[in-house]
Amino acid sequence: MEMADRTMGLQALLFISILSLTSVIGQVSYSIPEEMSKGSVIGNIAQDLGLDRKRLTSGKGRIFTGDSAEYIELDRERGVLLIKEKIDREALCGQTTPCALHFQVILENPMELYAVAVEITDINDNTPIFEKSEMKFKISESAVIGAKFLLERAIDPDVGINSLQSYFLTKTDNFVLKLKDQPDGEKIVEMVLQKSLDRERQEEIFLVLTAMDGGEPNLSGTAQIHVTVLDANDNAPVFTKTVYKATIPEDAPKGTVITRVSASDADKGSNSKITYSISNTAADVRHMFEINELNGDLISKSNIDYEKARFYQIHVQASDEGGLTDSCKITVEVIDINDNKPVINIMSQTNIIPEDSKPATVVTMVNVQDLDSGENGKVHCAINDHIPVTLKPTSNNFFNLVTDSDLDRETASEYNITVKCSDEGVPSLSSSVTLTLQISDVNDNAPVFERSSYEAYIVENNTPGLSIFTVKARDADWNQNARVSYILEDSSVNGVPVSSYVSVSADSGVIHAVRSFDYEQIKDFHFRVKAQDGGSPPLSSNVTVKVMIQDQNDNPPQVLYPVQTGGSLVAEMVPRSADVGYLVTKVVAVDVDSGQNAWLSYKLQKATDRALFEVGLQNGEIRTIRQVTDKDAVKQRLTVIVEDNGQPSRSATVIVNVAVADSFPEVLSEFTDFTQDKEYNDNLTFYLVLALAVVSFLFITCLVVIISVKIYRWRQSRVMYHSNLPVIPYYPPRYSDTLGTGTLQHVYNYEVCRTTDSRKSDCKFGIAGSQNVLIMDPSSTGTMQRIQSEKSILDEPDSPLEVGYLTHHYLHTSPRYSYNDFLDHRYYLPP
């Protein structure tokens, strides 16, 4: 149908042109559209030329085109021109208009020539075409507005209205299309930037350029435009935050990453490469932190100390390579860690306090500090237990060490006070200080003897100066307060000052015998020794010492009966009629020693006739052991030995005269020889009486002298004599037995060894009965000094006694017995 419509149009056109041809040149013109299909009728040439159809056939009508291609053929039979080859106007004429084919129709017989022109009219058979279907552009985003980009043109071979008429671009904000007419009528197509590109927003822009012709219907062709937006450093880095907050514990080691800042740059490539740096920050802070310039890590560069700074501000700058920057601030808060021990300061200290210090005495002042804050800086202090000291807070962080009970150096002479302070951190830190508090001594302890009383034994006849015994007292105090001196307390034994018996060494407590003791005179005595310390005031205690004197076998048995006298001869009478066992007599002996030493035994040592008498071993009885005969001599002489049981034993012998007779005259005649030495006995008696007279005279003389001296002294001492001196006038006891033989049975004989110069050792023997002075051992200096200070004695002009050593020999004592006890056994022989 469409094809038919078009053919109708062409025929109308042909009619007009035939009219014109016919009228002007007589030639035929046709107008046909291009692209008619093969065999299509162009026109009825025969008719148009006014020829008979037979003429064409007979005239062998043909078409002459010269060299040109034959697009058209002649149908002689029908008298029409037909399309032989499809005609493409564009191929035939290009852009030339009008486009016509000129040929001749030649007839023979007669030869005739007709010119025919066939104009080929354009149809819109070509679409506009771009040579390249894609156009690529690389445009910097920094390109300025108005920049032009030449686009490729499209080509449409059609002509006229069918040719390219217009271009269109996909709608975009950035670009507009601009067509520019060239002088040759061509059009230049340009793309003009009307709005800045932003790579960051759109990196690639795809556009479509459409070229359109004016045909009916119109045809169009398209081309892709690919715009790549090139980056420009048009974006500064931007931090994700303007302020970063971070914390770091103060014990974080160097190199700890505290936080990371981050900036981003919308640009690309090097324009987005960011480096971080610290800027605008104080130098000391810069020393502490560094920033990783690539990744923005904030790193501690040195040790952080909360106690120095609790807060840091660091400004960080981020720069891209194009030099654009941004900055941010990091606030670093330092977290306190319990890294500081409490510090204990001793502000004032007493190292030594006396033991009598009152409770609540302040010993030490302490201050405690902890540099940490909060709980980490809260400090508690305590001291060790079991000491008499407490910790007393005075004010904030100040403490006093105060005694809280009585002190006793003897219990504990020093205390180690450990003050320990801990904070409340977790874990808690603590520190401690040990103070030594010494307790100084006060004389609060008296010396104490090791025993509550002492008993000492000494064998009689000791040498004077012999150490008997040692007392010992201890004093719990210290040094001078514990230095014990021993002092003999004044007392008297049997009316005699005890200092004449014993002395005590002040330093050592050794008790010395001052004299030689005689058990037979004194068996025991006691005295008190005082121990006194060196404190001020001194303290003392005393103890009783009992000295027991032990017996020694120092006395031989003493025969009391029969009495051995030189003056008269005593004999026992035995009647010749005496039976066996007749008790002749009894030897009576005593021994002043005691115990075994006084246990006596009797033995017959010698006898005129041993067979006649025996002596009772225990009782000393002399008895006959056989019948007395007339042959037995009248005069019998027995020697009896009395022995004691001591070790070694001592003995005495006694001669017992026995007269074996029945009458007294018989005895007398026999005993004449007994009296042969009567003259000697008379002499002896005379000497004894003389001696007694002399001694009595001296005694009385001495007595007078002593009494007068005494009276004189007594007067003097009323003024100056106050102390009880160890210098004692001593009167030896003296016993005279008027009942006995008249001799002095008990004599103390003193040897006073006086020296005027201690280097001389000559001794002058004081006469018996003179005033003797007993002086304590001068080595006991305390006593000695007292003696020397006693001027009243030593400076006596009429008392030329000097300090010296005195020894006395205790010669002999024996108790008195009454002879009347034995009178019934006694026979006195006439002289």
Residue 22 near ligand NAG by CB under 6 A:
no
Residue number, 318 or 439, with CB nearest to ligand NAG: 439
Touching ligand NAG, residues 53-82 (CB under 6 A):
none
Taking the complex as a whole, the smallest distance from the CB of residue 432 to ligand NAG amounts, in Å, to 13
86 token code pair: 């499809």
Burial 781-816 (b: 16+ CB within 10 A, else e): eebbebbeebebbeeeeeeebebbbbebebebbeee
Does 325 help bind ligand NAG (rule: CB under 6 A)?
Answer: no
In the numeric block, which tokens belong to residue 38?
């093969």
Which two tokens mark 157? 């071979």
394 contacts 360 by C-beta, under 8 angstroms: no
Q: Using CA atoms, how far apart are residues 118 and 69, in angstroms rounded to an integer?
A: 14
Whichever of 527 and 674 has its CB closer to ligand NAG, that residue is: 527
- Residue 495 gets the label, from left (phi > 0), alpha (psi -120 to 50) or beta, of left
Q: Can you tell me the distance from the alpha carbon of 234 to that of 63, in angstroms, rounded to the nearest whole number?
A: 76
CB-nearer residue toward ligand NAG: 491 or 736: 491
Least separation in angstroms between CB 814 and ligand NAG: 38
Using the minimum distance from each CB to ligand NAG, give the nearer residue, 410 or 609.
Answer: 410
Please pick, from the candidates 416, 619, 696, 781, the single residue that binds ligand NAG as defined by CB under 6 A: 416
CB of 456 to ligand NAG, least distance (A): 19
Q: Which residue lies nearer to ligand NAG by CB, 432 or 771?
A: 432
What share of residues in the chain are helix, strand, coil (percent, to 5)?
15, 40, 45
Count Cα neighbours of 403 within 13 Å in the Cβ-side half-sphere.
Answer: 22
- State in angstroms the smallest separation of the CB of 396 from ligand NAG: 30
Q: Going by DSSP bridges, is the β-strand pair 583-586/148-151 parallel, antiparallel, or unpaired?
A: unpaired
The nearest distance, CB 409 to ligand NAG, in angstroms, is 12
CB 348 → ligand NAG: shortest distance, Å? 21
DSSP string for 3-67 = HHHHHHHHHHHHHHHHHHHHHHTS-EEEEEETTPPTT-EEEEHHHHHT--HHHHHHTT-EEE-TT
DSSP code of residue 376: G
- What character string, x for contact with ligand NAG (CB under 6 A) and - otherwise, covers 587-606? --------------------
Q: Which residues pair with 455 in a beta bridge?
A: 546
User: Measured from the CB of residue 416, what is the shortest distance to ligand NAG in angstroms?
Assistant: 4
Task: Tell the smallest beta-carbon distance from residue 541 to ligand NAG (Å).
Answer: 6
DSSP E strands, 576-690: 583-586, 588-590, 600-607, 613-615, 621-624, 635-644, 651-660
Identify which of residues 128 and 447 has a Cβ nearer to ligand NAG in the complex.
447
**Smallest separation (angstroms) from ligand NAG to the CB of 480:** 21
Question: How far, CA to CA in Å, does 172 sit from each of 151, 187, 302?
Answer: 16, 22, 58
The CA distance from 622 to 33, in Å, is 216
Task: To the nearest 10°, report the CA torsion of 91, 93, 98, 104.
Answer: -100
Closest Cα to residue 808, out of 714, 730, 709, 699?
730
Please give the radius of gyration of the chain, using alpha carbons only, rounded to the nearest integer: 85
| 414 near ligand NAG, judged by CB under 6 A | yes
With respect to ligand NAG, which residue has the nearer C-beta, 468 or 529? 529
DSSP state at residue 637: E
Q: How far is the CB of 781 from ligand NAG (least distance, A)?
A: 22
440 binds ligand NAG (CB under 6 A): no
Residue 489 lies near ligand NAG (rule: CB under 6 A): yes
CA dihedral of 265, 268, 270, 274, whole degrees rounded to 10 = 20
Contact status: 436 vs ligand NAG (CB under 6 A): yes
In whole angstroms, how close is the CB of 527 to ligand NAG at the nearest point? 11
Pick 289 or 525: Cβ nearer ligand NAG: 525
State the minimum distance, in angstroms, from the CB of residue 502 to ligand NAG.
17
Cβ atoms of 253 and 266 closer than 8 Å: no
Kindly tell me which of 369 and 413 has the beta carbon lying closer to ligand NAG. Answer: 413
Binding residues for ligand NAG restricted to 114-173, rule: CB under 6 A: none
CB of 501 to ligand NAG, least distance (A): 18
Q: Could you count the other beta carbons within 10 Å of the beta carbon of residue 723?
A: 9
| Count of positions on this chain that bind ligand NAG (CB under 6 A) | 5
Please say which residue, 369 or 542, places its beta carbon nearer to ligand NAG.
542
Out of 542, 594, 749, 770, the residue judged to bind ligand NAG by CB under 6 A:
542
Report H helices in 64-140.
Answer: 89-93
Q: How far apart are the first and last CA of the chain?
A: 230
Q: Which is nearer to ligand NAG, 22 or 542 (CB)?
A: 542
Residue placing its CB nearer to ligand NAG in the complex, 416 or 565: 416
CA-nearest of 53, 56, 45, 52 to 108 is: 56
Q: Dig out the tokens for 777 from the structure.
A: 């051992």
Q: Which is nearer to ligand NAG, 74 or 435 (CB)?
A: 435
Q: Considering the complex, what minimum distance in angstroms separates the CB of residue 531 from ligand NAG? A: 10
Instruction: In angstroms, give the least distance from the CB of 398 to ligand NAG.
Output: 25
In angstroms, give the least distance from the CB of 708 to ligand NAG: 36
Smallest separation, CB 488 to ligand NAG (Å):
11
Q: Judged by CB, which is closer to ligand NAG: 387, or 706?
A: 387
* Closest alpha carbon to 653 in 603, 608, 719: 603
418 binds ligand NAG (CB under 6 A): no
- Give the 3-state secondary structure of residue 704: helix
CB nearer ligand NAG, residue 542 or residue 596: 542
Min. distance of Cβ 504 from ligand NAG in angstroms? 14
- Choice between 416 and 758, CB closer to ligand NAG: 416
- Two structure tokens written together for 423: 């904070």
Kindly report the number of other CB atoms within 10 A of residue 489's CB atom.
15
Closest CB to ligand NAG among 52 and 414? 414
3-state secondary structure of 708: helix
87 and 100 Cβ atoms separated by less than 8 Å: no
d(CA 289, CA 259): 11
- Looking at the DSSP bridge assignments, the partners of residue 209 are 169, 223
Closer CB to ligand NAG, 306 or 527, in the complex: 527
Under DSSP, is residue 755 helix (H, G, I), strand (E, B) or coil?
A: coil
Within 13 Å, how many C-alpha atoms sit on residue 91's CB side? 9
Paired sense of beta strands 28-33 and 112-121, if any: parallel
Residues that bind ligand NAG (CB under 6 A): 414, 416, 436, 489, 542
